[in-house]
Amino acid sequence: MFTLGRLLEASGGRVVHGRPEPELRFSEGAFDSRIAAPGSLFFALRDQRDGHDFVADAFAHGVRGAVVERLPAGLPDDALCVEVSDARHALRRLAESIRDAQPIPAVGITGNAGKTTAKQASAATLGMRYRVLSPRASYNNEIGVQLTFLAQEPSHEVAVLELGFYVLGEIADLCRLVRPRIGIVTMVPERPTHFARTPSVDAIARGKAELVESLPADGVALLNADDRRVRAMSSLTRARVVLYGEAADAQLRATDVTELGLDGTRFVARYEGASAQATIPLPGRHLVTAALGALGAAMMLGVPLEEAAVGLGMLEPPAHRMAVRRAARWTVIDDSYNASPAAVHAALHVLRGSGGRRVAVLGDMRELGTLSSDAHEEVGRDAADSADVVIGVGELAATIVSSAKAVGHRDAHSVADSAEALVLLRRILRPGDVVLVNGARALELDKLADALAPAGAAA
């Protein structure tokens, strides 16, 4: 929350349309007119599309003002527009101004998988003692992180943010804005997401390491002891290092791990003589990593382990990430937000252990570059062992189907898109089936999951 006066001071902009009322308040920032909230401030950013073409639509959705580089046509008479030389630069300056006006400790989270679950889990554990500033969406790039600060209110006491990475230097720049005191690095698997955008897995690890390099000397780096590339980041930081995981030398350790099927995973968390039974209410043993990181963040900021474990059990599942929905006739595991080899194999492990007939709907895994063919073949072999029915959605996923057939799977189908997949599923699904939905975001398999089991049908 911020005022027009703060915006003008931070950005150097001027009101060119509407009434200049310095005490006018905005609830948050927005850059997508379709989802802009009433009372927010719209930034007309220029990227693949020019945000100036959507300013009028943003006002139709109830925004209170817009930051523009030129005055667009078709505005309501009372529309407030602030003109700046660079809207993206103005957003950054405003975020920095809000941060400086009310500094709060920040937890930064990165890794090639598990960031969003770790963010949600950290918000839950820290929420036992603090009011937490954290975005619901995966706002992990330069725009999203800045918008998160625009939603900060005076009552917020700690921030929890994801930090994404496409090019070297990106996380370092985000850290200059966030100024994290606690850094969590989840994992850098051998076949990582977005591999096509980077020269090597080691380059991805270097990019993720920018978080621990940015931590202050009195900060804490929480590093996954079970991932060799993450563990190796210990030598790159001035901060105190706490290794977490199932490894014997992890300071924050998970033991007695018990998978509860679709109801989640239970384990005992141990740290410096203290222990607590914890449950992460999302299926998949692989999510214990995110859970431990969240428990560590909470303890480093003063939340006792037992109290943090209670908060973990109440975490709000990230949208379309291993979300279990129980409809009248079947159960859907909605993991449709995006796809990577590590995530797909983990999801198939969950499906393999579920009851009923198992149906795997697997879409393309994109941006894998030279890893793509082998990765899709491996998923096909895994799917053949894990599912009674395999449905590949998209051109790349045809390799999943052919690979499953090559090892003897007899009920594997290749379809072009989510609409065709839905037609097939409606024909073949039976009562009691468990359906896993996973694929690249561009395939819009989230709509398929919603069609099979409405979002309100959460377990």
Query: Looking at residue 33, which CATH number applies to its domain?
Result: 3.40.1390.10
Question: Residue 428 carries which side chain, given as an amino acid letter?
Answer: I
Residue 292 lies in a domain: yes
Residue 193 lies in a domain: yes
Q: Are residues 197 and 109 in the same domain?
A: yes
pLDDT-derived band at 192, boundaries 50, 70, 90? low
Span 221-237, pLDDT tens digits: 999 999 999 999 999 99
Residue 19 has pLDDT above 90, yes or no: yes
Q: Are residues 230 and 200 in the same domain?
A: yes
Average pLDDT estimate for 315-323: 87
Query: In terms of Cα–Cα distance, which of 349, 411, 347, 341 is closest to 373?
Result: 341
Residue 300 has pLDDT above 60, yes or no: yes
Q: Are 438 and 344 in contact (CB under 8 A)?
A: yes
Q: Are residues 242 and 351 in the same domain?
A: no
Q: 136-146 burial by CB neighbour count: b if 16+ within 10 A, else e?
A: eebbbbbbbbb
Q: What is the pLDDT of residue 432?
A: 96
Span 393-437, pLDDT tens digits: 999 999 999 999 999 999 999 999 999 999 999 999 999 999 999
Alpha carbons 296 and 4: distance in angstroms, whole number:
38
Alpha carbons 414 and 436: distance in angstroms, whole number:
16
pTM of the predicted model as reported, rounded to 2 decimal places? 0.91
Query: In terms of Cα–Cα distance, which of 73, 68, 56, 55 is closest to 7?
Result: 68
Residue 154 has pLDDT above 70, yes or no: yes
Q: Are residues 173 and 262 in the same domain?
A: yes
Residue 97 lies in a domain: no
Residue 285 has pLDDT above 90, yes or no: yes
Q: Are 252 and 276 in contact (CB under 8 A)?
A: no
pLDDT-derived band at 457, boundaries 50, 70, 90? low
Query: In terms of Cα–Cα distance, which of 174, 172, 240, 239 is closest to 209?
Result: 172
- The residue out of 270, 289, 312 marking a domain boundary is 312
Tokens of 131: 């009011």
Q: Are residues 84 and 126 in the same domain?
A: no
Residue 96 lies in a domain: no
Q: Are residues 332 and 386 in the same domain?
A: yes
- What is the tally of structural domains in the chain? 3
Q: What is the pLDDT of residue 197?
A: 67
Q: Are residues 135 and 192 in the same domain?
A: yes
Residue 317 lies in a domain: no
Residue 361, SS3?
strand
- The residue out of 64, 89, 114 marking a domain boundary is 89
Q: Are residues 298 and 365 in the same domain?
A: no
Range of the domain at 302: 102-312
Q: What is the pLDDT of residue 194?
A: 60
Residue 458 has pLDDT above 60, yes or no: no
Q: Are residues 123 and 200 in the same domain?
A: yes
Tokens of 395: 């051109």
Tokens of 156: 């917020």
Q: Are 411 and 389 in contact (CB under 8 A)?
A: yes
For residue 444, the Cα-to-chain-centroid distance in whole angstroms is 16
What's the angle, vertex CA 374, arms to CA 370 and CA 379, rounded to 5?
130
Average pLDDT estimate for 56-71: 97
